[in-house]
Structure 1
Amino acid sequence: MSMMRKDPWRELANFRDSVNRLFDETVGKRLPVPSWPGWMEWKPSVDIVDEGEQFVVKADLPGYSSENIKIKVTENSVSIRGELKEEKEFQDTCYQVRERSAGSFSRTLPFSILLKPEESKASFKNGVLEITLPKAEVPKGRTLDIETE
């Protein structure tokens, strides 16, 4: 008599394949996608580097151009918004595979250190947005002498 052991990883792989097949079939038939807030919402990947006197934010925005990106800098945050329109030549086409997204995004990055919005700069090259955010001088305070009578 041989004993067979269940392999949970194989069962999980079978389940994953079934879910992938179901998703491929429904997307291929262009069924409506739920419109819940946050459902499949895309946000760009960012890096924030502290360079001492300033922060540098780099955001990956493939397919975007500088004309469809808006940046707002306040004393304690930077907001990046963008919109990528769907290609008109393929709007009424039944996709076989569709991994590229179109639409709009918004991302706000908070900072715990005050920034200088008026001195901030942005550049865009090869699909990478770079924002330089100088830090504001924070008053150092002072030591008080205690007066006595």
Structure 2
Amino acid sequence: MGEILIGIVIIILCIIIYFQSGDFPYFNEVHLNAGSFPKLIAILLAFLSLILVISKVKELLSKRAELEKVDVKVYVKKLIKEYKLVFFTLFSLLGYIFLMQYIGFIVTTILFIIVTGYVIGPKSKKDLLIISLVSVIITFSVYAFFQNVLHVRFPTGVLF
């Protein structure tokens, strides 16, 4: 069921990207404009998502008899227990996106990588030190590259 929802969401996003990429500037002397590549990627991704949705709907319909016998509460509890790391990562990512505008990119990214890496990965102190070191190196490398080479500004929040 989750794959069907993800496929539908991706198809909707592809439609939005397809129509938004038509607003890019167009040069008269070339056949392809700046929006051609995003449109192509959106079409391919929507096509693949449609294949995913169709295959999962067929699979769900074939298993329909089995699903009618299962209690919904038991199934939801089993689903939450099985995918608790996925749910944690999703909620921490949403929190990361929300807090980035208030705290800033650098601090929020370092905290996000450390917390997510610690929860998902091993729990020893040595591994926490490695995760912290990697998060600092990755964050400052990405920040320096985007800031100095690509001239992209990140949210600066209260701290950085």
If the TM-score is normalised by the length of the shorter chain, which range does it land in?
under 0.3
Query: Higher RCO, 1 or 2 (CA under 8 Å, sep at least 6)?
Result: 1
More helix per residue: 1 or 2?
2
Relative to the length of structure 1, the TM-score reads 0.22
TM-score, length-scaled by structure 2 = 0.20
Instruction: Compare CA radii of gyration and give the structure with the larger one.
Output: 1
